[in-house]
Amino acid sequence: MRVITLSPKECAWGIEVGYKRMFESPKQGYKDSRELADAPVRTKIWIDVNGACGELAACLALNVDWSASVNTPDDPDIVIGENKIDVKTADRHGKRLLIPDHNINKRLDWWYLHVTGCIPTYHVWGAIKVTDAFDVGSYEDPDGRGWASFVDKVDLTKKFM
């Protein structure tokens, strides 16, 4: 696990990109994070902002450039050689890596990288290939928002770190 603390400038960049994602993605027909059931506005903004900052922290941990992309949910967050990586950020360190079921068929050759934390400090835990996640993870729908594989940190590889 690597601990990454974003500088004030990096925090501002991540916040800007997350805020743009929140407003631009629905215009392109992508899911609007502001429409999550029973979520206060603060939480809805936080989802995109913390996700963007988590991606930036992951890129710093892996020593790769951050694309800071907006409206590209079908593209990987990070590409290292032939490896396509999707970063999943949870705001609490005790959370497991969540890989949504709806991503599986399109991304069988992708990796998912687990990041936890919130601005400015993040923990980059490791990654797992999608095809392995459903072998070692538990398949659950705990809050009725859709099935996913939940993977414990001990099952993640440090391959890219």
For residue 149, the SS3 value is strand
pLDDT values of the chain reduced to their tens digit, one per residue, 161 residues: 999 999 999 999 999 999 888 877 667 666 655 565 555 655 667 888 999 999 999 999 999 999 998 877 788 999 999 999 999 999 888 889 988 877 666 788 899 999 999 999 999 999 999 888 888 888 887 777 677 888 999 999 988 87
Residue with tokens 């590889």, as numbered in its chain: 157
Say how far apart CA 96 and CA 137 lie, in whole Å.
9
What's the pLDDT at 128? 94
What pTM does this model have?
A: 0.87
Q: What is the residue extent of each domain of the chain?
A: 2-155
- Which DSSP string do the residues of 126-159 spell out, in sequence order? EEEEHHHHHHHSEEE-TTSS--EEEE-GGG-B-T
